[in-house]
Amino acid sequence: MTKVHLTILAFGILLIGACRNAKSTISLIQNADIEVQVETLLAKMTLEEKIGQMSQVRHFWDIESGDVTKKHIGSIIHTEGPLPGQDAAEWQARFRVLQEEALATRLGIPLLLGVDAVHGQNTYNGATIFPHNIGMGATRNPKLVQEASRITAIETQACGFNWVFAPCVAIPYNEKWGRFYEAYSEDKNITSALAKASIIGLQGDLTSNKTVMATAKHYIGDGNTDFGIEGGETTLSPEHISSQLLMPYKTAVQEGVGAIMASFNSIDHISMHAHKAWITDTLKGALGFDGMVISDWKGYSKFGGIDIINAGIDMVMAVDGDLDYFQNDLKRAVESGNVSMERINDAVRRILRQKYRLGLFENPFPKTELSTNIGIKQHRDVARQAVRESLVLLKNEKSILPLNKNAKIILVGEHANNTGLQSGGWTMHWQGTDTSYKGGTTILEGIRKLSNGEVIYDSIGNQKSDADVAIIVVGETPYAEFFGDIGRDNNPHLLTLTQKHQNYISNYTKQGIKVVVILISGRPLVVTPQLNQADAFVAAWLPGSEGQGIAEVLFGDYNFTGKLPHSWPKAVADFNGIYGPNYWNSSITPLFSLGYGLTYKTTNNE
């Protein structure tokens, strides 16, 4: 093919893409140029190099020195595991070595360097950690989500990455699902609006060193499995999935999202990774997605080998020992005709297209000076605003809130003084941490900073007290995928508060002290008895690093503005069985409906 032919072809592809993908951040001319470059490069590649581009590996555990060259690796992932270095400068330096190796290969194709930065650059100790998406869903504030994502992109680039596996655009139907909090809302309009904001914030104009490629995940039905089991069967009709779950993906495609991650669940008993009808026909065909579909963890060995490639997966997370198997198996399949060269070319084209769109060929390295931007005050101020706006006031009897700044306060519970516990899963570690990390502020520290009165701390909830008010912070311990599913064997998580936390509340209500309960949780819990006991009750979700945001609202410096992103369950019995097609089926009445949330009549600032 000559260059002229390539240009014509590119314009043809482009026009189709442009019609479908109206809001893409890339201009028509740029896109046409990119298509020419992609085709030129693709034409030079061997099969091994193409399969290499389709391979994503863990930086320490799946490759040895020289493997980026030898195995033609296309992408590196960092998630749970050894840290790339002591500080961001060392992280950058480590990834720079790998990037330099890729650039020195025969074709010099740069690496995509991806990370699970799902609420801030949460794999880095000292980063700004935002409320998990469920809290962002309560803010209903797309501008804020965009700003939080812009900051996340900066702190992520500062650590050496150019790609994040966020946002999660699930629309979960069952609180038992251990990833409930990764999603914004049960409402598709809220989810789509915030997904859009997140993608704009993360990707910006794409080519800047301060933005990263985003990933909408997990396609599709991840939050809708029977009984809320991660990776289970999603028993919903295609019509239901199209009308209720597809909307955020349409939005993501319109916004030019670079990647979409396939989900662990199955539909029609076909793994989503191998579901050609949903991936190729719907996502790439009907929706016109021209970015790359990435598998989830070990997707190739888990979900049927070449079936997932034939279904439309473009890049494979070939981690934890999968790399050689994936590369050899796929090569054999192409040679024997079980996977067509056209399919391989389509996959590689999509990967290269994103690398060009991100400007990685000209600009493969992050700016070293960015590392000083991690966790700075301006970033934390935005996270604190997000905490304030995420809080939902469920009860405020006799207007016990806002608190008087001169009141004698006893603050209760281990969650009150621990940034790990207040942040949930995907914070420093995959399943989160139960200890404080660098740079954050606990709720206790925030209350102490704003109070003019005496503040006592009771970490184990059993003191006798003459305080004016007890603020009792209770909730869930951190969890993430699989381990957070309620109902899995040996899973300690409950749909109610633990007996220990119930006792904290009873201990103080029995003494006749006014009680404000702050619930830290990744999902609405069944807390009907505690709502009755308490004078005031606040759903604080998983606020992240800026605990002071809670104090600012409790003391009335700011009003409550958060609204429930989910209907709130009344009884544990409501969870028996498969959820109805529209989340709350007609036989279940929630305690509070979607959108519920009280406010103060006035604040200190009015």
Q: Which residues bind ligand BGC (CB under 6 A)?
A: 79, 116, 165, 217, 296-297, 481
- Using the minimum distance from each CB to ligand BGC, give the nearer residue, 165 or 177: 165
Residue position matching structure tokens 């966020």: 166
Does 481 qualify as catalytic in the annotation?
yes
Q: Which of 35, 155, 481, 485 is catalytic?
A: 481
Residue 548 CA to residue 431 CA, distance in Å, equals 24
**Beta carbon nearer to ligand BGC, 231 or 475:** 231
Query: To the nearest whole angstrom, how small is the minimum distance from the Cβ of residue 292 to ligand BGC?
Result: 14
If the CB atoms of residues 264 and 537 are measured against ligand BGC, the closer one turns out to be 264
Q: How far is the CB of 509 from ligand BGC (least distance, A)?
A: 40
Angle at 49 between CA 46 and CA 52, to 5 degrees: 150
Given a contact cutoff of 8 angstroms between Cβ atoms, the answer to whether 367 and 304 are in contact is no
> What DSSP line would sit under 37-70, residue for residue?
HHHHHHHH--HHHHHHHTEEEETTTT--TTHHHH
Nearest CB to ligand BGC, comparing residues 458 and 481? 481
Q: Which is nearer to ligand BGC, 140 or 217 (CB)?
A: 217
The CA distance from 101 to 110, in Å, is 9
- In the chain, how many H helices and how many E strands? 20, 16
Q: How near is the Cβ of 132 to ligand BGC at its closest, in Å?
A: 13
Q: Per 3-state DSSP, what percentage of the chain is helix, strand, and coil (rounded to 5)?
A: 40, 15, 45
Report the alpha-carbon distance of residue 528 to residue 525 in Å, rounded. 9
Question: Which residue carries 């812009």 as its tokens?
Answer: 150
Is the omega angle on the peptide bond into residue 402 within 30 degrees of 0, that is, cis? Answer: yes
Annotation marks residue 49 as catalytic: no
Q: In the bound complex, what is the minimum distance in angstroms from residue 296's beta carbon to ligand BGC? A: 5
CA dist., res. 542 & res. 552, Å (int): 16
The CA distance from 287 to 233, in Å, is: 24
Closest distance to ligand BGC from the beta carbon of 65 (Å)? 23
Give the C-alpha separation, 256 to 216, whole Å: 11
Question: Which residues share a beta bridge with 270?
Answer: 267
Q: Least distance to ligand BGC from the beta carbon of 51, Å?
A: 21
Q: Which 3 state secondary structure label does DSSP give 219? A: strand
Catalytic residue among 296, 307, 329, 485: 296
> Considering beta carbons, is residue 79 or 235 the nearer one to ligand BGC?
79
Selection from 518, 246, 482, 558 nearest residue 394 by Cα: 518
Active site residues: 296, 481
